[in-house]
């Protein structure tokens, strides 16, 4: 029996990834840049055993159906191939993130699975190699291998598509991200389906792609210069442009809700009142607000006039993936 346990934290893309160049290998259409956060994470244990005749997958203590288990098995096959191992595994994953609600549970989930499985089979992967492996499960998972800021370099092949750390000199410790959870239910349109529809049909998609390199450069320069306003402006612009592409898809769709719009408008009002803060959104209705730590209490208080306490979750920069245990028996 071989076991490993890992904890990985979610990340939120400041410069968005939207669309795949290669669906099977999950190679993106563009580079992206993210901030790993401490408030949402996944802990996963993987136990390879000679006694098993098939893989078993438990999520939040519930045995999952064959479809969900198949996705995990396919990912484990990649790890088994690397380790020249034929054993089946029991996977126990605990999500401290609302699953599929636009809060990036797939990022922390697949990063934790990659870490736990590779630790169990003693693969001794470098961060770049582990990032590359995690990408095969979920694109954004490749960025959750790192703490703080990370850039997913799209590359041109399986070997060259992975995330790297973005030097920041601790700038991330000055930042907070406030989550406005307007809906933690399952999404109507998954990120995967939304991306594919947008890439294939959106009249705005080419325009989005053309602006990403400039946005990425602006973000990295802002991080290097510790310029919060510059980072916030490009973060908000990237999110709006990404969501704009969905409105021109065929058929058109949006992840926004009325409460999403309310939260975005409140951010603009707070900013106009003199408190710098900026919003971003992933493929879901929930709004994330980037703000300096020194101003987090004021922004949270302003939003608390419109949203219930349980809808407001404060996060700060999170650590890299952690291998919690490994055992050969």
Question: Quick one: pLDDT at residue 185?
Answer: 67
Find the mean pLDDT for residues 208-228: 97
Question: Quick one: pLDDT at residue 184?
Answer: 65
| pLDDT at 280 exceeding the cut of 70 | yes
Question: Which residues of the chain form CATH 3.30.70.890?
Answer: 175-316
Question: Which residues of the chain form CATH 3.30.230.10?
Answer: 2-170
Cβ contact 90:49 at 8 Å: yes
The 10s digit of each residue's pLDDT in 28-51 is 999 999 999 998 999 999 999 999
Q: Which CATH architecture has domain 2-170?
A: 2-Layer Sandwich (3.30)
The 10s digit of each residue's pLDDT in 70-106 is 999 999 999 999 999 999 999 999 998 655 444 657 8
Find the mean pLDDT for residues 215-238: 98
Question: Quick one: pLDDT at residue 96?
Answer: 86
Query: CA angle, 183 as apex, 134 and 249 as ends, to 5°?
Result: 70
Band (pLDDT 50/70/90 cuts) for residue 187 is: confident
Instruction: Please state, in angstroms and rounded to a whole number, the distance separating the CA atoms of residues 5 and 326.
Output: 6
**What homologous superfamily is domain 175-316 in, according to CATH?**
GHMP kinase, C-terminal domain (3.30.70.890)
Question: Quick one: pLDDT at residue 106?
Answer: 87
Instruction: Please state, in angstroms and rounded to a whole number, the distance separating the CA atoms of residues 77 and 167.
Output: 34
Please, is 92 exposed, middle or buried when counting C-beta atoms within 10 Å of its C-beta (0-12, 13-18, 19+)?
middle
What pTM, to 2 d.p., does this model score?
Answer: 0.94
The 10s digit of each residue's pLDDT in 104-123 is 578 999 999 999 999 999 99
Q: How many C-beta atoms lie closer than 10 Å to residue 252's C-beta?
A: 12
């Amino acid at each position: 029996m071989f076991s490993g346990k890992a904890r990985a934290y979610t990340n939120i893309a400041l410069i968005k990834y939207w669309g795949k160049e290669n669906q099977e290998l999950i190679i993106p259409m563009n580079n992206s840049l993210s901030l790993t956060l401490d408030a949402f994470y996944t802990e996963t244990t993987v136990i390879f055993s000679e006694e098993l005749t098939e893989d078993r997958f438990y999520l939040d203590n519930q045995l999952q159906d064959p479809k969900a288990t198949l996705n995990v098995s396919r990912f484990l096959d990649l790890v088994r191939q690397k380790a020249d191992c034929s054993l089946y595994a029991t996977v126990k994953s605990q999500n401290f993130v609302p699953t599929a609600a636009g809060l990036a549970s797939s990022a922390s989930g697949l990063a934790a699975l990659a870490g736990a499985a590779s630790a169990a089979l003693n693969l001794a992967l470098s961060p770049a190699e582990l990032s590359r492996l995690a990408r095969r499960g979920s694109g954004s998972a490749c960025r959750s291998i790192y703490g703080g800021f990370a850039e997913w370099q799209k590359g041109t092949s399986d070997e060259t598509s992975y995330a790297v750390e973005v030097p920041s000199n601790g700038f991330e410790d000055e930042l907070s991200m406030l989550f406005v959870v307007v809906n933690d239910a399952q999404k109507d349109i998954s990120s995967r389906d939304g991306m594919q529809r947008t890439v294939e049909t959106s009249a705005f998609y080419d325009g989005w792609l053309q602006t990403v390199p400039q946005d990425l450069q602006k973000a990295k320069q802002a991080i290097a210069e510790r310029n919060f306003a510059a980072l916030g402006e490009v973060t908000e612009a990237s999110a709006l442009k990404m969501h704009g592409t969905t409105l021109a898809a065929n058929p058109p769709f949006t992840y926004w809700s009325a409460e999403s719009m309310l939260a975005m408008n409140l951010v603009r009002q707070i900013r106009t009142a003199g408190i710098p803060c900026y919003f971003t959104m992933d493929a879901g209705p929930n709004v994330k607000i980037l703000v300096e730590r020194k101003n987090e209490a004021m922004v949270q208080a302003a939003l608390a006039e419109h949203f219930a306490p349980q809808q407001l979750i404060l996060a700060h920069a999170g650590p890299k993936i952690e291998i919690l245990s490994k055992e050969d028996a």
